[in-house]
Amino acid sequence: MAARLSEAPGDSRPLSELLADHAALERHVRDNVQSAWHPSCTCRMGDPADAQTVVDPSGKVVGADNLFVADASVMPEVSRTNTNIPTIMIAERIAEMARG
């Protein structure tokens, strides 16, 4: 019996099919693999003129009105410690700047 991996509830494909089809395997991994760790460093902070920038230095989302990101996603690198305290500090600082 072939090992089966679920792509969606009620829908599964044999592992051998996924291994034989690179695109299907990549799709499966992107759709199903998750982390139990603290996501961070996914929302680049920088110069709004840079196409790779998501938020400006005040946490404001580039191209959106009154939308701010104030969490670990704006960290440039994963901290060496638990992300809780640095995330609180980021959120407090961005909230302070947003208040004006």
Which residues are marked as active site? 38
The label of the residue with tokens 């996501």 reads 39
Q: Which amino acid is at 97?
A: M
The strand pair at 4-8 and 11-14 is best described as: antiparallel
The rounded radius of gyration (Å) of the Cα atoms in the chain is 19
